[in-house]
């Protein structure tokens, strides 16, 4: 099963550029997780709502042109598994009206897979937004644990809006303490790891530097590879054996983020 997560920063814009069509054609993910769709299905083209190869589910923000997530599943895979999609509201998490979570539940070989496309808050708008971001982190962590305790296999993909360590950001000293590289955010990632959750790419690529998933567009950060690694696939460390490949698709254009691909068996 190939999964791809991508913060598209506006799904209609990426479609107009032809970048979304390119990704689907070249990589053909079985499950495609999308963040920052910035729209509602009634605004979308048939490619985005009635694709011949995918069932497509959307969780849109109440605020127009803001946030939102999506998750697509290949119809070929759906025929092999039991499939249920949810616009999940994580218990006690803030930002419930922003469409930040799309949840696909698959049943195969008597196992339950919970696949999440999540757009974590930025937290930079106000002190309240910052506090809500930290609560959102903790509530998602609690929910992941609750599903794992039920025996479910959990995969979370998305834009987590935090660079974990100094090698996950091009300029750590200049950004130390700033939102996105704040000790409290990084401590959340520490707690995940201590709790047995794996940052799949980093686990497979320890010590590798200069690999990022987001770049500041106005300063042409991507041209200079001055970026942040803030897009992840998380899963139970005990399930890491099933990973065949995990890679950032740095050549894929169309957004200020690049996609991340995960292949599991």
* The two structure tokens encoding residue 160: 């987590």
Catalytic residues: 159
**Which uninterrupted H or E stretch holds 188?**
helix 183-194
> Coil, helix or strand for 104?
strand
C-alpha dihedral sign at 124, 128, 131, 132: negative
The CA-atom distances, in angstroms, between 215 and each of 115, 150, 210, 242 are 26, 38, 12, 30
Distance CA 212, CA 190 (A): 19
Distance CA 60, CA 42 (A): 11
Burial tier of 64 (Cβ tally within 10 Å: 0-12, 13-18, 19+): exposed
């Amino acid at each position: 099963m190939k999964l791809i997560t991508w913060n598209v920063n506006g799904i209609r814009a990426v479609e107009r550029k032809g970048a979304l069509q390119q990704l689907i054609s070249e990589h053909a993910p079985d499950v495609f997780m999308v963040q920052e769709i910035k729209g509602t299905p009634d605004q979308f083209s048939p490619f985005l709502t009635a694709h011949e190869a995918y069932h497509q589910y959307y969780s849109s923000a109440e605020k127009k042109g803001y946030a939102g997530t999506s998750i697509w599943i290949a119809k070929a895979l759906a025929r092999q598994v039991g499939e249920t999609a949810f616009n999940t509201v994580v218990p006690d998490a803030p930002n419930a009206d922003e469409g930040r979570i799309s949840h696909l539940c698959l049943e195969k070989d008597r196992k339950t897979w919970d696949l999440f496309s999540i757009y974590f808050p930025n937290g930079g708008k106000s002190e309240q937004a910052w506090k809500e971001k930290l609560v959102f982190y903790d509530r998602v962590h609690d929910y992941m644990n609750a599903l794992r305790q039920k025996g479910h296999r959990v995969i979370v993909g998305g834009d987590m809006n935090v660079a974990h360590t100094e090698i996950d950001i091009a300029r750590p000293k200049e950004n130390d303490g700033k939102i996105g590289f704040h000790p409290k955010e990084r401590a959340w990632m520490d707690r995940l790891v201590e709790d047995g959750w794996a940052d799949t790419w980093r686990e497979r690529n320890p010590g590798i530097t200069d690999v990022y998933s987001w770049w500041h567009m106005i300063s042409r950060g991507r041209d200079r590879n001055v970026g942040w690694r803030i897009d992840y696939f998380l899963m139970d460390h005990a399930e890491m054996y099933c990973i065949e490949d995990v890679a950032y698709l740095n050549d894929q254009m169309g957004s200020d983020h690049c996609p991340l691909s995960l292949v599991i068996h």
